[in-house]
Amino acid sequence: MKTRTDLSGTFAKGLVAVAVAFATASGASCGVSGGSTGGPPSTGAAGASAGTGGTAQAGSTGSGGTSSGAAGVSGAAGSGPGAAGSTGAGGAAGNGSSGGTTGAAGTGTGGGAAGADAGVPLSGIMVNIGGTMVAKENAIAFLNFGHSNMAGRGVSLATTRPYFFGAPDPHGWMYHSGAGFQPAVEPKTAGDSGNEVNGMVSGGPSTALVKEAAALAPDKYFITVGFGAGMAYCSQFLPGALYYDQMMKGAREIKDKVTWAGIVVMLGITERHGTQADITNYPQCMNTLITSIRTELNLPNLPLLLNDYEMGTTGPLAPVPSDAFFVAIEPKILMVPSVVSNAVIIPTDKPIIPIEDDLSTDDDHHFSLAGHEEYARRLLQTMKDNGWFPW
């Protein structure tokens, strides 16, 4: 069962991009000659490589065999898009010598199967992303939702702002119902009305998530389908409740056109805005919610990547033993992976994810822009560690 992962000291500023290479092997078949008493049967020449389909030559004639000719050898499977290698011809019968028995003709076995072309999409489904037709297998989507930290309240450091608000990555995208695919940029990925405070626009984690993912797999397109709402808590996202349909609207529109990578959720610290039952039943609420999402997407094992309590929080919500709410909710957050399958808690400490006070609230639990960038790297590393990022 997955639990919170300790990723201390494992995150470097620049993750190396991973390129995916496709190898092409040859497919061929060959015949084997009839046997002889004087030595082993000789081998016919191999067929042509995959791409044209190999045709085996007949094996040579034995020089006076007492045994039957050996069977022809099957052509190897091609790894490219070529046709199968043809059946190898049987070796000719050996010529009988004095007192010898004429060898029987060898029988060729089937040629190798046609190789599959790894560059051809398995589904054949294509999606138009910003004017580029992209195979479903190369369009990797995250469903991102949660409270104000998901909407984004980060405003600093100043040096990080171009990363979030400047030029988008050509392979980093967002999708919203009514707007379609657009380049991922803050505060538009999951922002709400609280993204503009004190004259400075704030941002969240989704732009960093798709940019960091694209750095790991530059031949893929990464898409965030995001929704954030200040003070939102789990039960408000349940089917039939306040936010479920808004959160799922875009996902429903592209659910069969993309490859889903995971469900990224930021909740927990806001359960205090609900009732005592919202705190007590947090793991069960998450299970009901994630099960509903997985059912709609027809992906029962889609990973859940859930944030831990924001451990850098200051002020009245600081994670200290004297805070009754923290003491009540933290065990419930850590319990989620034991209730929800394929779930993991993304740590916010060891080291602490940077927090800043953007002066919009008095709870001081929001990540800075630098914190969101670090959180995205931490999340993707957790996916890699669990085998959930195969791109």
Tell which residue, 2, 61, 245, 47, has the closest CA to residue 145.
245
Alpha carbon dihedral 315, 318, 322, 323, in 10-degree steps, equals: 90
pLDDT tens sequence across 112-129: 333 334 455 589 999 999
In this structure, are residues 18 and 388 in contact, taking their beta carbons and an 8 Å threshold? no
N-term to C-term CA, the chain = 24
246: which 2 tokens? 């808004």
Instruction: Report domain extents, the chain.
Output: 28-114, 127-385
Q: How many beta carbons lie within 10 A of that of residue 143, not counting itself?
A: 24
* Cis amide leading into 187 (omega within 30): yes
Q: Which amino acid is at 162?
A: P
pLDDT tens sequence across 13-58: 333 332 333 333 333 333 333 333 334 333 333 333 333 333 333 3
Which residues make beta-bridge pairs with 323?
Answer: none
Looking only at the bridges linking them, the beta strands covering 132-135 and 126-129 are: antiparallel
Least confident of 14-18, 326-330, 370-374: 14-18
239: which 2 tokens? 């089917």
Q: Which amino acid is at 144?
A: N
Please give the share of the chain, as a percent, with pLDDT higher than 70: 67
- Cα-Cα-Cα-Cα dihedral sign, residues 246, 275, 304, 382: positive
- Cα-Cα-Cα-Cα dihedral sign, residues 287, 292, 294, 300: positive
Whole-model pTM over 0.85: no
Quick one: 111 exposed, middle or buried, by C-beta within 10 A (0-12, 13-18, 19+)? Answer: buried
- Give a three-class secondary structure readout of 135-176: EHHHEEEEEEEECHHHHCCECCCHHHHHHHHCCCCCCEEEEE
pLDDT tens sequence across 55-73: 333 333 333 333 333 333 3
Q: Which amino acid is at 126?
A: M
> Mean of the pLDDT values across residues 361-387?
92
pLDDT value at residue 122: 84
DSSP 23: -
pLDDT value at residue 114: 37
Q: Distance (Å, rounded) from C-alpha 259 to C-alpha 236?
A: 27
Beta-carbon contacts of 253 under 8 Å, excluding residues fewer than 6 positions away, are 175, 177
Quick one: 165 exposed, middle or buried, by C-beta within 10 A (0-12, 13-18, 19+)? Answer: middle
| CATH superfamily of the domain spanning 127-385 | SGNH hydrolase (3.40.50.1110)
Beta-carbon contacts of 383 under 8 Å, excluding residues fewer than 6 positions away, are 261, 262, 303, 305, 389
* Cis amide leading into 40 (omega within 30): no
* Cis amide leading into 267 (omega within 30): no
pLDDT value at residue 199: 76
Q: Which amino acid is at 9?
A: G
Please give the share of the chain, as a percent, with pLDDT higher than 90: 63
